[in-house]
Structure 1
């Protein structure tokens, strides 16, 4: 497994080669490094932390990385062979995470290499602030190790001596602090099951990177509180005070989506600013994982111009991000647009009563519509409509009621297109715009609904029988256009919606599912029935 993963890395990263007969990654231009007399950097440990450590092999970072089996330190002989493979006249620096197996195997290999005349030094990384030194085993080496790789690699690439490279590596190792939070355990392949189980709302604070539980299990708080607790522990442990500059590394543990890591990075920056601490460099991504664990760690490294220069130095190691980090972010001014019409819509106005009834109904049925959409689509309909409904409720009092109902519909259309994405947003926006134009021209609500329905046909391309909202809208509009009552329109819409359960879709995401949608009514059509019923109830003489 480990060897095949390494072979795959060599196939996708031209600068990395596999040392024959081992699971060690080495720079493919190692002869060039040796000829230049640069200090060689070797790191590693058990596999399962990808992209660490082989992903950091390349100019400007590691010269080699030796891997053991998953979560198992490589043997003494494997490390010794790796030292021999990367050794240069400048010597070899071993960067080791603070685990007993790694310290023993790398340490003995270093002793043996020295007896062979290879100048070798070792730097141990113990950046996990969740564990006190008095805990017996000492602090673990976790994601801060990657920053040690980067600084030491840049120093070696600049031609500094072994003692100088080791000094800079120790400086980072001694000052960087990290702490993590797990939302799930990882599954070690040999075990075949998670190392521990968490309830849906639980998290493990201060976890390790080998599937071991953390130092505390507690209910998961909002992301701002997660960032605050992790950062508080780090800054107190490392003595980072207001006025300090730091590099921030937000690290995913293997199963955390990039979106969530970006959210944590944003929360961390906000928290640091409140403390008067400036994050002059920021990176977010999966740098050192624990197989398939869901979770995150934060690392803070106090920096000055010397360290910033080394962090900024170029590297082609495949796992180091190519983007330039910034702690400020960039915001460009929005282009000018036409402001929506505004005014006052009286609480007694029937249009306002209808709008509020529709919005409240869609919010109340959010979960039902979402569940329906999961059966036949992507599960976002209820959420999208509820979001638009909330915007309408908030903005209804400011709609231009004094300009008439057509102006109100245009304002509602602006609310919808601004706050509802996906497919629903533009379809409902065009329905409202076309309805407003027809209402202004004819003064007829049946004509307005028909025009809105035709607008959805024009933009979306759907017709009756395609299993969309048109299957409810079209018969409802036709019932009103032929002199029927609103109750008749609702009945027609409901009949059309029920019929969608008997047909396969020709448009939309439901069309991907074929016969699997049979027996399930189209949720978009059902939503039409809901808001027509809400309008009817709001306008009933008894209300």
Structure 2
């Protein structure tokens, strides 16, 4: 398994050194794998120290949460392994004064034993120590009592609440009581899409098939409580939240905060989709989401998946979550945007958009001719989606097939009564494709269609030569917009030969249908020729010679829709 590591046995120390370089308010404690706050007051003036930690591999937990207003120290064990007792004891000694220390421990045997023994040793030295154990994993509620469950991502919220409470200068007992109350009102459940891989290991601790997900997993690569089939994000979110809501007995009208946590290999895009689903789900239950956070706050190395945490809150708990901290990894904020849509300003339409009402007899004729031709284009693009995706993946980002599928859907959706004039039809298509296609294809096609529409603006009944001129103006627009020309291995290498063949055929005495057949043949030859061209424009130009061997997807798409139009080109 490829990793950005040196010696796996030194990964924790080297990681801490990297974190410390970016955390001016923290330092590594001697030879121990402990990150502590700098600049603490003299021992007699120190507030309650908040100390947490556990096995490494959960970054940014725990070192990322060291700082005023959160953790005084983070004790880091080897990957997925509890830190030794002595390291915990040194953290207590380094950060505590007469007000003592609160140890926040996730409910795993090794952590409880080592932090518990360190607490006893510290007490023997006269340092007051309390322990708060986080056991927020609701997936285990059917098998075990609450105090026997695992501690997972909700621990970060407990760090924040306890740290803010300690910063107020209140006694240890009060800080501990506040943290325990938070734990009692906290529930978390996660899902894994696959396993994670420890440094030095050549494979993941477990693997999931494409048709499997793991519900209720822990954060150390251990398996969950149920293996089931994948489901859409909304349904999966409902499954996780239902367990949490039932366990916490949250009722309509209550207030909560929400944390959607990534497990290490989940894109922010997917986490945001889950956050959306969770917020909407809770809102439907008439549960008010006062704050929400979304990101990777407590991971499991490179595990794909997420967890959802819900914490019941009141004004006091919210104030603690809102308080300032210098922790570099606390996401801050959390304020929820209750209204996420803004009206589009209504402006006058300065473009020559088509009139959607049929006003002339010949208008209906154009609509009846154009609609079947455009539907044929759409069906051809849909049929070739996989081919276009494959070609684009070899020299680009692989989105061409999906873009052309969206273009096809937009074309089919164009109403017949918007196709009553050639110029208006092209303008309508330009608008539809501009709105449907992202990336580069949308602007290219939209610009080409707008330019062609302008070319035909004064031609109520365009001749074949008028269409040829419009065709050429479309290609010129693409070239001007993208800065490419024929020979650069782009869509123009199919489009320009087609134009030359069509225009040349008409001037040579061919009728429109014969000239179009020549144009299709020229486009298909031009598209195939791109397989041997070195790219000089577009994303493929970054690959140079590595792009050789396969034709350009954009050029193949041009040939595809030109071929689809051929049966609809009449001889006149």
- Shorter-normalised TM-score: what interval? over 0.9
In the alignment, does 2:416 pair up with 1:406? no
For each residue in 1:241-297, what CA deviation from the matched residue of structure 2 results, as whole angstroms up to 9, or x when unmatched? 111110000000000111111111001001111111111100001010000000000
Gaps of 5+ in 2: 1-10, 359-363
For each residue in 1:374-428, what CA deviation from the matched residue of structure 2 results, as whole angstroms up to 9, or x when unmatched? 11111111111111211121123352x33x1101110110011111111111110
For each residue in 1:447-484, what CA deviation from the matched residue of structure 2 results, as whole angstroms up to 9, or x when unmatched? 11111111111111111101111111111111221215
Counterpart-to-counterpart distance in 2, 1:342 and 1:202 = 52
Residue 162 of structure 1: how far off its partner (Å): 0.6
Is the Cα–Cα contact under 8 Å of residues 248 and 299 in structure 1 kept in the other structure?
Answer: yes
Of 506-515 and 132-141, the range deviating more from structure 2: 132-141
Taking a change above 3 Å as real, the CA distance of residues 320 and 335 of structure 1, as seen in their structure-2 partners, is same
Q: Name the Cα RMSD after superposition.
A: 1.7
Is the Cα–Cα contact under 8 Å of residues 516 and 569 in structure 2 kept in the other structure?
Answer: no
In the alignment, does 2:517 pair up with 1:487? yes
Three-state SS of the structure 1 residue aligned to 2:190 is strand
In the alignment, does 2:409 pair up with 1:387? no
1:281 to 291, 297, 305: 291
Counterpart-to-counterpart distance in 2, 1:269 and 1:538 = 50
In the alignment, does 2:239 pair up with 1:206? no
Counterpart-to-counterpart distance in 2, 1:392 and 1:272 = 38
1:185 to 173, 179, 195: 195
Residue of structure 2 equivalent to 1:301: 311
Counterpart-to-counterpart distance in 2, 1:369 and 1:307 = 54
Residue of structure 2 equivalent to 1:269: 279
Is the Cα–Cα contact under 8 Å of residues 263 and 299 in structure 2 kept in the other structure?
Answer: yes
Residue 324 of structure 1: how far off its partner (Å): 4.1
Is the Cα–Cα contact under 8 Å of residues 342 and 411 in structure 1 kept in the other structure?
Answer: no
Residue of structure 1 equivalent to 2:141: 132
Counterpart-to-counterpart distance in 2, 1:412 and 1:288 = 48
Residue of structure 1 equivalent to 2:36: 26
Counterpart-to-counterpart distance in 1, 2:112 and 2:264 = 25
Taking a change above 3 Å as real, the CA distance of residues 336 and 192 of structure 1, as seen in their structure-2 partners, is same
For each residue in 1:22-47, what CA deviation from the matched residue of structure 2 results, as whole angstroms up to 9, or x when unmatched? 100100122x2745331100000001
Residue 494 of structure 1: how far off its partner (Å): 1.2
Is the Cα–Cα contact under 8 Å of residues 433 and 442 in structure 2 kept in the other structure?
Answer: yes
Is the Cα–Cα contact under 8 Å of residues 413 and 433 in structure 1 kept in the other structure?
Answer: yes
For each residue in 1:209-241, what CA deviation from the matched residue of structure 2 results, as whole angstroms up to 9, or x when unmatched? 000111011111000001101000000011111
1:163 to 169, 173, 183: 173
Residue of structure 2 equivalent to 1:355: 374
Residue of structure 2 equivalent to 1:53: 62
Counterpart-to-counterpart distance in 2, 1:324 and 1:215 = 31
1:425 to 414, 439, 442: 442
For each residue in 1:467-512, what CA deviation from the matched residue of structure 2 results, as whole angstroms up to 9, or x when unmatched? 1111111111112212151100001111211211111010001111
Residue 515 of structure 1: how far off its partner (Å): 1.1
1:474 to 496, 515, 533: 496
1:460 to 482, 489, 493: 482
Of 493-502 and 43-52, the range deviating more from structure 2: 493-502
Map 1:67-86 to 2 at 5 A: 67-86=76-95
Is the Cα–Cα contact under 8 Å of residues 7 and 18 in structure 1 kept in the other structure?
Answer: yes
Counterpart-to-counterpart distance in 2, 1:375 and 1:512 = 12
Counterpart-to-counterpart distance in 2, 1:148 and 1:474 = 64
Aligned length: 538
Residue 540 of structure 1: how far off its partner (Å): 6.6
Residue 335 of structure 1: how far off its partner (Å): 3.0
Counterpart-to-counterpart distance in 2, 1:511 and 1:115 = 69
Three-state SS of the structure 1 residue aligned to 2:153 is coil
Taking a change above 3 Å as real, the CA distance of residues 496 and 342 of structure 1, as seen in their structure-2 partners, is same
Residue of structure 2 equivalent to 1:451: 473
Residue of structure 2 equivalent to 1:105: 114
Gaps of 5+ in 1: none
Is the Cα–Cα contact under 8 Å of residues 281 and 327 in structure 1 kept in the other structure?
Answer: no
Counterpart-to-counterpart distance in 1, 2:417 and 2:18 = 60
